[in-house]
A = this chain, B = another copy of it.
Amino acid sequence: MPKQTFLNLPEEKRLAVVNAAVDEFADYGFEAASINRIVAASGISKGSFYQYFTDKLDVFNHLLDVIAQEKTEFFKDRHPPGANLDTFQYFRWMIKAGMEFNTANPRLMQAVSRVLLGEGLYYGRNFEDQRLKSTNAMRMMLQQAIKSGEVDPSVDVDLAVMIMETWSNAISSYILNEGMKQKDIMKWVRSARTQEKIDKLLYVMEYGLRKTESEFISQT
């Protein structure tokens, strides 16, 4: 939650700061990120930094806000292909849309996921809210699917969420790690070969879960 002074800034300046922060967190992680380097790269003064943000965590939190805004913008005109998707079809669409989003903002997502997943902050002190928000979405998605009869009500929702979360994170990491090595990440992601690999990964999860729906993930 940056201070109002930052939000009043002209967009150009604000973007310079955000980009510098993204590069810094992507390259160094949270603990090793240097405010000195961020202000040097943004072209703002050190004094200004402390009038925009209270500390390092505050800048990082702003990146989460930026993602939220970008996501809203990104998904404004993007809807699931049809209304009769079952839960797995919907999840598959969600993952692929997420991939597109990551691909459109690779450094931003790299920065944030490095910190959240990599540095343990995700499961740690801060950001628990952030994570709960995300898993709650999945949980609600599943619960609604159960309610509407799409999914077997005996499924252990918590466990299914954990699997989906793991799967989603793994695919994200794969895209960002491998993709950053490519010349044209967008082209690489959309290539038949990459899409096929992702498809297979999703099928593994889907059939694993389908099988388990009745036999293994039933409540006990």
Contacts and interface: CB of A to CB of B under 8 A. Distances in A.
Q: Dominant SS at the A interface? A: helix
Copies of this protein, total: 4
A120 interface: yes
Interface string A166-209: 11001001100100000000000000000011011101111111
B196 A204 contact: no
12 contacts: A29-B29, A29-B31, A31-B31, A163-B204, A166-B170, A199-B216, A200-B212, A203-B208, A207-B207, A207-B208, A207-B212, A208-B211
Interface of A: 28-29, 31-32, 114, 117-120, 123, 156, 159, 162-163, 166-167, 170, 173-174, 177, 196-197, 199-201, 203-209, 211-212, 215-217, 220
